[in-house]
Amino acid sequence: MKHLLNALLILLFCIANLKSYSSNDFREGYIISLKGDTTKGLLLAQISRNASEKCIFKSSADSESKIYKPGEIAGYRYLDGKYYVSKEINMDSITKKVVFLEFLIKGMANVYYYVDDEEHYYIEKVSSGLIELTEDEKTFYQKEIPGRDGAHIYIIPSKAKGKLISLLQDCPSIFSEIQNTRLTHNSLIKLTKDYHEKMCNSESCIIYERGNNSAKVKLGVLMGFSKNQYNFGEQIISNYGNNYQIGATLKVSNIFMFNEHFNLKANFIFEKDSKSYTLSLCDGVHNYPTTNNNDHSILNDINYGGGSSIPLLPSTKADLNVLDFKIPVSLNYDFNISKNTIYTFGIGISNKFILSQNKNFKVDYFYNRYGKSINSLISGVIATTGFEGNWFGKSTYFVNAAYEYLFDFRSRTDKTLKLYNKQLSLQIGMYF
């Protein structure tokens, strides 16, 4: 458990630095005054929920930032990206509130998006004003009434499709598409775009939602160096031996609609251990002989009176000679800290498959149970942090540091027969 805590502490350290980096995540854009005038500058990149509450604007990189609330400006837009406009919405049957709605598409029917504790979608036509589409199914339970057969359940379906049919009734050919429409960015944009093209031949609709909202996949290569430690059932522990890595990497971005900074990374790494490790007994262990290819035993109890002809040592060298294939997968968060550099951190799971090992190396309890000293599969958690950037030419380069804590997950394996593996890695690589 303490090793899992170490991984979480690395993540918490990264999160602690989040605030200091966030102040640098400004992107080109402009604000629109209530009179319709535009002022170019830099806008702070924010998640959708924060972006609906305030706009943080700088006229230049060196100037002080200024906060605009909804209603103080008509709207703001990132250059060729998201566009927010001030609109008054109904929070409930009584309360109204002015917020920045994300403008998804402008045409014969406009579509907007807003998120608080849940997602909200709105459609707007000149003739009808702003109408909220979001409405979940509601289920009502009626208690059993004397003289009737049991209790009754009533389900009131969402009215979203009915509202769309009512608002777009001047285009009956769109009704079948409405039946398949879902309350998502892509689905509503497609519907209203089709409606606009059927109803208006004079001008095209404008899609403000960021141009490429599909997932982006990057492939790359990496190489690395790590310090690797094995703990055999909390009885025998190795020193941190050298480990060499080479492999491929995969990064998938734009996977979450609510925040483009999240991404998934998967590495596919071949690792080769240095042959020589030093084995010793863990703290509190006094009598645990093991043999290796040098026919030595290690034993820390100086009062041991065994008559073995094998030398008894407080520690011994062993040739593990491990070759493994590892697949760590992590959920990461990226932050722009300069124009060409991204700071990234994440946490995830890692699986290590042991491809080969020195068959002459034996930890007695493990070898007698499994027929090998190091189990074929060990899994656990990984915490990563690093930097990415377009530092040389058009390719993206990266430097990553990672901490892994892995162990044998098999059921009915007590602690004395579990293999624990800690690893600290430093990797460099590039995405194509």
Q: pLDDT 10s digit of each residue in the chain, 432 long?
A: 454 445 445 544 544 444 444 445 788 999 999 999 999 999 998 877 889 999 999 999 889 999 999 999 999 999 878 999 999 998 887 889 999 999 999 999 999 999 887 889 999 998 888 999 986 555 545 555 555 555 555 444 468 888 999 999 999 999 999 998 888 888 899 999 999 999 887 778 888 865 455 678 899 999 999 999 999 988 899 999 999 999 999 999 877 755 667 899 999 999 998 778 888 888 877 666 777 666 566 665 444 444 455 566 778 888 889 999 999 999 999 877 776 788 999 999 999 999 999 888 888 888 888 888 898 999 999 999 999 988 887 788 999 999 999 998 765 667 788 899 999 999 999 998
pTM for the predicted model, two decimal places: 0.58
* Residue pair 408/365 in contact by the 8 Å Cβ criterion: no
* Residue pair 152/162 in contact by the 8 Å Cβ criterion: no
| DSSP assignment string, 163-224 | HHHHHTTT-GGGHHHHHT--SSHHHHHHHHHHHHHHH-SSS--EE-S-S--S-EEEEEEEEE
Q: Encode 198-233: b = buried (16+ Cβ within 10 Å), e = exposed.
A: eeeeeeebebbbeeeeeeeebebebebebebbbbbb
Structure tokens at 413: 């394996």
3-state secondary structure of 63: coil
Q: Which amino acid, 177?
A: E
339 φ/ψ angles, rounded to the nearest 5 degrees:
-60, -35
Which domains are delineated in the chain?
26-207 (no CATH), 216-431 (2.40.160.20)
* Residue pair 335/343 in contact by the 8 Å Cβ criterion: yes
